[in-house]
Amino acid sequence: MVANKKETFDIVPSHLVVRAMRDSGYKNAAYAIAELVDNAIQAGATLVEIVCKEEDELVSQRTRRRVKEIAVIDNGAGMDTETLRKALQFGNGARLGDRSGIGRFGMGLPNSSMSQAKKVDVWTWQKGPSSSLYTYLALEEVESGDMEEVPKPERKAIPKEWLRISPKIAKSETGTLVIWSDLDRCDWRTAHAIFRNSEYTIGRVYRRFLARGKVQIRMCAFLAGQTEAHFDEYARPNDPLYLMEDTSCPAPWDRVPMFEPYGNDYIIKWKYGKKEYPIRVRCAIAKKAARVGHNAGAEPHGKHAKNNIGVSIMRADRELELQTGWCIGYDPRERWWGIEVDFPPALDEVFGVTNNKQNARTLAEYAMTSLDQIAEREGYASEAELQEAWTSDSDPRLVLLMVKRFIEENVANMRQIMKAQHKTGKERRYADPDSAEMKGTKATQKRIAEGHKGVSDKDASLPDSERESGIAEALKTEGVDTAEAHEKAQGVVSDGRKYEFYKVDLSTPEFFSIRPKAGVILIGLNTNHPLYDHLVTLLEQDPEDADVETLRGRLRQSYEGLKLLLEAWARYEDELTDGPRRERAQETRFQWGIVARQFFRED
């Protein structure tokens, strides 16, 4: 029997390698495209263009536009023949092992390309586009065994449509054009989807380069056969710490920072090997003006911040990822703080940087694990014992524990500040007839008409000015801001309301306080009581700012909070062993139920 093809026994067959690399774990097309942008920036490009070529396609009796090719074009240094062939080899490249810049793994171009497409074509030039060298990789040829090495580059003209759509780069003496075709794994089918889903990522990953003017990143799309772009925009910096000016954050926070620095930068000079390297951690918290109003999270700037929740991991001025493991689930308040961890490529092994530059795995793992769990996993009885051992062994992971502590301490402090701001923030106006305050007022008026008199009723006939003054003074003694106290007093009197809620820090265990004043019943909600967070804070969160699962979770939590409240009352009665006291408590519950029934009938 004669084999058709030469049988080989490579330790790792190339077609299997390429197939495995296709599943290398890029989060989406934006992160795969970022690998090509990395190469361009590393090659000294000042202009990088991400271009989508679309074609009209008949889909279910309708004509739709579909992306057929994605290209990244740059005016970087270009490549010679040897460098070009190396760039298309998996695990090779001109900067293999280089710790001075963005890349060093030798995986970017082939890995990202094959993760999205079956074919990648590359043109590169160093003496004008007319001198361009060309080669390619094709998955089908690799799998069939017809392509066992990167084809030798040849002189080949760049297709005119790509030069027309990128006129600035077409005039550049040096540059590179990478085109992905046969896009079988791209998440998004249209140019609009690709760019709208990429603008956050591209702007955030390269925010420092964009802000410093080191590079411009253009995103554009054109229809096959046409010369004009129908989508054409330049990426703007997207800073998750919101400390930069001129960013993609919606107005008014596009021109000025929306956050302010929190505390001092934490700088660690860490010795690794024979050299010392800096690690910097900095924190930022939203300005109070950005959180003013009942529903700042639903405002455009609040929605922008929602997409930037997490700790930003920076390496060589490029963001690796936004780690969300440091955050509390879907708590919308997490958007109002930011932390950035910045380290050099020399510490890649310490932080666990992956070869696709999307993760710092070791730090991400520490975010999800308590210090006691880390100690137990490493075989130590306590955190202190772990730290002592790692210190004596000069274990490089010790620096991750230091970073972890700093992040957790500062996040906890910033959460407390935001919670305090929320408690003292302005309340909604309740002139709405469907509000609980107005319904309660109506029910109370009926009870008064039926002959039920209350302590607060005797002052209801005082002049409005006296009532406003008395209510404002009462609120101020409870810690309400002067301006807010007067605003509340004016509102409750002008609306004719019987009830006004406010927030108060009480040292007593009561969940709410009751103060009759000037014809009004002031109800203070104790923000220090655990029930406040289990019910009030939970239910105050904006429903439009959450997905269905989050809303379901809030409903479940609030229902459980209500049951705990009733259980606490039931236990209170159960512990009243004295007969008369127990009877009075039961009678109170009975009478309260009667009043509550009448109030709820107003709903």
* CATH code of residue 139: 3.30.565.10
The domain boundary, picked from 392, 424, 456, lies at 424
Q: Which residues, including other chains, have CB under 8 Å from residue 51's CB and lie 6 or more apart?
A: 70, 71, 72, 73, 162, 165, 166, 219, 220, 221, 222
Distance CA 591, CA 566 (A): 16
Is there a domain that residue 22 lies in? yes
Number of folded domains in the chain?
Answer: 3
Residues 339 and 448 in one domain: no
Is there a domain that residue 474 lies in? yes
Residues 356 and 399 in one domain: yes
Distance CA 302, CA 290 (A): 8
Q: What angle do CA 491, 497, 498 make, to 5 degrees?
A: 130
Residues 308 and 363 in one domain: yes
DSSP-H helix ranges across 453-547: 464-477, 482-495, 530-531, 538-540
Q: If you write DSSP's letter for every residue of 190-242 in order, what string do you get?
A: SHHHHHHHHHHHHHHHTHHHHHTTS-EEEEEEEETT-SSEEEEEE-----TT-
Q: What angle do CA 530, 555, 603 make, to 5 degrees?
A: 95
More confident residue, 242 or 96: 242
- Phi, psi for 514 (deg, rounded to 5): -130, 125
| pLDDT tens digits, one per residue of 247-281 | 999 999 999 999 999 999 999 999 998 899 999 99
Q: What is the pLDDT of residue 224?
A: 93
Is there a domain that residue 349 lies in? yes
| pLDDT tens digits, one per residue of 484-522 | 888 888 889 888 899 999 888 877 888 899 999 999 999
Residues 501 and 368 in one domain: no
- Domain range for 138: 14-234
Is there a domain that residue 115 lies in? yes
Contact between 43 and 76 (Cβ < 8 Å)? yes
Structural tokens at position 14? 């190339």
Q: What is the pLDDT of residue 303?
A: 92
The domain boundary, picked from 402, 424, 446, lies at 424
With b for 16 or more beta-carbon neighbours within 10 A and e for fewer, the 551-575 pattern comes to eeebeeeeeebeeeeeeeeeeeeee
Residues 528 and 590 in one domain: yes
The domain boundary, picked from 234, 250, 281, lies at 234
Contact between 475 and 467 (Cβ < 8 Å)? no
Is there a domain that residue 4 lies in? no
DSSP-H helix ranges across 101-190: 108-116, 139-144, 160-165, 167-170
Distance CA 591, CA 599 (A): 13
Residues 166 and 207 in one domain: yes
Give 3's pLDDT tier (boundaries 50, 70, 90): very low
Residues 411 and 441 in one domain: no
**Helix axes 398-424 and 383-392, enclosed angle (nearest 10):** 140
Is there a domain that residue 454 lies in? yes
Give 103's pLDDT tier (boundaries 50, 70, 90): low
Structural tokens at position 323? 């780690």
Residues 379 and 476 in one domain: no
Residues 408 and 451 in one domain: no
CA neighbours within 13 Å on the CB side: how many for 136? 15
Query: Residue 423 pLDDT > 80, yes or no?
Result: no
Residues 228 and 362 in one domain: no
| pLDDT tens digits, one per residue of 46-98 | 999 999 999 988 777 788 889 999 999 999 999 999 999 999 988 665 554 45
Q: What residues form DSSP beta bridges with 286?
A: 259
More confident residue, 331 or 158: 158
Residues 311 and 401 in one domain: yes
Distance CA 362, CA 129 (A): 44
| pLDDT tens digits, one per residue of 302-321 | 999 999 999 999 999 999 99
Q: With a threshold of 0.75, does the pTM exceed it? A: no
Which parts of 497-581 are beta strand (E)?
Answer: 499-504, 512-517, 520-526
- Give me the chain's average pLDDT, please: 87
Q: How far is CA 259 from the centre of its chain?
A: 15
Residues 143 and 36 in one domain: yes
Distances (CA, A) of 395 to 270, 359, 388: 11, 21, 10
Is there a domain that residue 54 lies in? yes
Is there a domain that residue 254 lies in? no
